[in-house]
Amino acid sequence: MKLLMISNSTNAGEEYLKYPIQEIGHFLEGVKEVAFVPYAAVTFSYAQYEAKVQARFDEIGVRVHSVHRAKDPARMIREAEAICVGGGNTFVLAKKMQEQGLMSAILRKVKAGTPYVGWSAGSNVCCPTICTTNDMPIVEPSSFKAIGAVKFQINPHYLDANPEGHAGETREQRILEYIQANPRRYVVGLREGCMLLYEDGHLELKGNRPMRIFKKGIPTFEVKAGDDLSFLL
């Protein structure tokens, strides 16, 4: 499999997809067209999302074709040269993907070696479930099951602390609840500006910030770029 799972699309003060585009270009080297899944969009149209991604992908010479334009989106995935899934609301994304049979179609494709790029919600759906998303469940998917391309859960946009004056649970407390209820599953707290590259059976953290690792029965710890992540596989 070839997977590029990105925490966030945009770093503060930067343009959309600016920081990861070189890595995406390297990952998609030789690819001319991608099938794009825009279904995490809520407050803007799928066509607007497609155009926004295309504007950045122009820099790497890749054409973006959104599955919302296809009569048979699952077939478009089956025939895709590469697949990209954008961020937004994970529950909205999962619901639409389930309705169109895209979860299983994507899993078959990535197992066959088709490159997959996802950011934020697009990284969430690479996991076994969407249970470690940060998003509000504004719609109800048929289940929390996702693509399952990797065995671990991702928490994108991972934050270490709550804003000053906020008395609610921290992100870490919420993840600790998850691993209490799901003791066999690893969760990775993927900080902004970072991504996970899976290629040739090797998982690599890319970015200048460490990644936080959670699993029931193991003290929480951090890994940095270059560390061995084979335990997640």
Catalytic residues: 120, 135, 157
Task: Give the Cα separation of 19 and 3 in Å (integer).
Answer: 18
Query: Which candidate, 57, 38, 190, 180, places its Cα nearest to that of 124?
Result: 190
Can you tell me whether residue 171 is helix, strand or coil? helix
Distances in Å between the Cα of 13 and the Cα atoms of 50, 58, 120, 135, 157 are 22, 21, 18, 22, 16
Distance linking the first and last C-alpha atoms of the chain: 12
Task: Give the Cα separation of 78 and 98 in Å (integer).
Answer: 15
Name 222's bridge partners. 212
Q: How many CB atoms lie within 10 A of CB 2?
A: 16
The residue type found at 105 is A
Greatest C-alpha distance within the chain:
51
Map tokens 């004056």 to a residue: 165
Task: Give the Cα separation of 109 and 102 in Å (integer).
Answer: 10
